[in-house]
Amino acid sequence: MATYTPPLRDMQFIMHELLDVGSALSELPPHADLDADTINAVLEEGGKFASEVLQPLNAVGDREGCKLDKTTHEVTPPTGFKDAYAKYVEGGWPALSCDPAFGGQGLPHAVNQCFYEMLNSANQAWTMYPGLTHGAYECLHAHGTDEQKATYLPKLTSGEWTGTMCLTEPHCGTDLGMLRTKAEPQADGSYRITGGKIFISSGEHDLAANIIHLVLARLPDAPAGSKGISLFVVPKFMVNADGSLGARNGIFCSGLEHKMGIHGNATCQMTLDGAVGTLVGQPHKGLAAMFVMMNAARLGVGMQSLGLTEVAYQNAVAYAKDRRQMRSLSGPKHPDQPADTIIVHPDVRRMLLTARAYAEGGRALCMHTALLIDQELHHPDEDVRKAAADEVALLTPIIKAFITDNGWKATSECLQVYGGHGYIAEWGMEQYVRDSRINMIYEGTNTIQSLDLLGRKVLGDNGKKLKAFGRRIAEFVEEQGVNEDMQEFVNPLADLGDKVTKLTTELGMKGFGNADEVGAAAVDYLRVCGHLVFAYFFARMARVALDKQGSGDPFYTAKLATARFYFAKLLPETAMLIRSARSGVKPLMEMDEALF
């Protein structure tokens, strides 16, 4: 019974009024002639595909799941998924932001990011099939040989073939340095790869004619640990010299994982039995090459939870406006009816506004980051490209962890709005909760993201990247600090900025003495930084809304109300988090493990 309406108005607000993407893109040669009308038209059509084609299949995919024929090793996705993928390819959507040299449309990542938010709202499990394909495209585009690019990129761009990344193994988890899959060099320059991989999303299906697997494995002379990992491209079907498909390769699905959510996606155990592959990049440098795909996936996972937050919010609002139960504590609001709608109750509004604020803050952050990626790739000034790359590196773990934590919270709150009906499958809300939970786990757990942020991205360069973002905040605070109507936004933003600076220094000093201090504080620290970033964007959005509220458009009134809710009800979480981060490692480690 769930429905979905693409949030085009808010996307347009963030793109054109908050970020002014037109001016930013005009400085990038490949996008200099792109105008707002074209962007809006593309997203409007993308929204129709998401809401009309994908959304009706979301519950179907959850109920049916995927089916494995253990004799043939073939996997059949849920009813309608293959037809939807054919429409996706027919519409040219896989090529949206791909390189025109390989058949792509060359549109900015900022546009593609909005499109993928809508796809994830409509059907996260389905969206993972093309989403991983785009990551494989990015990896090969960055590190593939000319021959690999010519062989694979046009088909990945068109969507005729899909892609995966085959990383972890049963004994590894995130510690990829422990992987055992072997790659034996052959006389013709190829490799025979043998081993087993698990948790391979979209690993086997019949949506496309071929599946291109990017596989991490070890060469015979590989050093131990993560420095001995190489990357290989391993197609499901071998590709002939003329581009046609040849024999079936020795990589196949040996089992499907039975999961809490995303049932419509084929999460496979993959067996490689002498599969033929070719080396991507340099020997023993595979992890660095794969990080192109992994970082794209981390941003994509943030988008998954952003999409689920939005669609859960929309449905919870509709329910709260319709469901009648009890009376308002301050007196009947609908005296002609037997009860008031539940949206009159303060705590129902708290739950709804929590989801709304996390969706709008997440959308602003993700669009900003996508625009940075466009600048990193295409800006003519090397200094601008470097600054954009540094900021993307800083924000990536925040997007992955903070937005997915928020998505879990938001979908749960939206389910709560329904009361007992939220727990019933027919309403669709419990699926959003189950689907959102994986997003905190895969592509590096949120604890891993927190360690990456504090250990590598902040302390690893003595706070250089964080200070650069801090200067962005300080400039805005200085500019707006003289405006009375902005005090409620810039004062708490400035205060939190100062506290993050002090906390970072304190944790850095403690970490020098005991590295476990970093591990003890990292999760709290990332969440504090996430709020700092959200507070910055909400303050900026409030500035635009204040300037436009005289227009009479209720959109700006709602934007201001959401910003005020965020600063009043969500940002104060940082006080508890900072106190927790400062409590140190002792409360966590002083108990002997035998006592657990």
Q: What is the pLDDT along the chain (596 residues), one digit of tens a residue?
A: 899 999 999 999 999 999 999 999 999 999 999 999 999 999 999 999 999 999 999 999 999 999 999 999 999 999 999 999 999 999 999 999 999 999 999 999 999 999 999 999 999 999 999 999 998 999 999 999 999 999 999 999 999 999 999 999 998 887 788 899 999 999 999 999 999 999 999 999 999 999 999 999 999 999 998 899 999 999 999 999 999 999 999 999 999 999 999 999 999 999 999 999 999 999 999 888 877 777 788 889 999 999 999 999 999 999 999 999 999 999 999 999 999 999 999 999 999 999 999 999 999 999 999 999 999 999 999 999 999 999 999 999 999 999 999 999 999 999 999 999 999 999 999 999 999 999 999 989 999 999 999 999 999 999 999 999 999 999 999 999 999 999 999 999 999 999 999 999 999 999 999 999 999 999 999 999 999 999 999 999 999 999 999 899 999 999 999 999 999 999 999 999 999 999 999 999 999 999 99
Is residue 74 within a helix (H) or strand (E), and if so which, with residue range? Answer: strand 74-76
197 within 8 A of 215, measured Cβ to Cβ: yes
Of 104, 90, 98, 106, which is closest to residue 45 (Cα–Cα)?
90
Nearest CA among 243, 282, 280, 239 for reference residue 141 = 280
Instruction: Give the CATH architecture of domain 162-287.
Output: Beta Barrel (2.40)
Tokens 């707002």 locate to 36
Q: How many angstroms separate the Cα of 85 from the Cα of each of 207, 266, 302, 474?
A: 6, 14, 22, 46
Q: Is 596 helix (H, G, I), strand (E, B) or coil?
A: coil
Residue 289 is predicted with a pLDDT of 80
CATH 3.30.70.60 fits 8-143, yes or no: no
Whole-structure pTM over 0.95, yes or no? yes
Helix (H) or strand (E) holding 274: strand 267-280
Alpha helix (H) residue ranges in 454-553: 464-480, 487-513, 516-548
What ranges do the domains of the chain cover?
8-143, 162-287, 445-591
Q: What angle do CA 215, 217, 223 make, to 5 degrees?
A: 150
pLDDT of residue 334: 94
Q: Say what the pLDDT of residue 527 is.
A: 98
Burial 256-287 (b: 16+ CB within 10 A, else e): bbebebbbbbbbbbbbbeebbbbbbbeebbbb
Single out the catalytic residue among 413, 430, 443, 517: 443
**Catalytic residue status for 443:** yes
**238 phi-psi bin (left φ>0, alpha ψ -120 to 50, beta other):** beta
Please give the sequence-ordered ranges of beta strands (E in DSSP) within 178-266, or none if there are none: 182-185, 191-201, 210-217, 230-235, 237-239, 245-248, 251-256
C-beta separation of 134 from 96 below 8 A: no
Tokens of 352: 């709804």
What's the CA gap between 347 and 175, in Å, rounded? 42
Q: Are 275 and 193 in contact (CB under 8 A)?
A: yes
The 3-class secondary structure across 370-420, one letter per residue, is HHHHHHHHHCCCHHHHHHHHHHHHHHHHHHHHHHHHHHHHHHHHHHHHCHH
Reduce the DSSP state of residue 380 to 3 states and report it: coil
Contact 274, 247 (CB under 8 A): no
User: CA-CA distance, 89 to 95, in Å (whole number)?
Assistant: 9
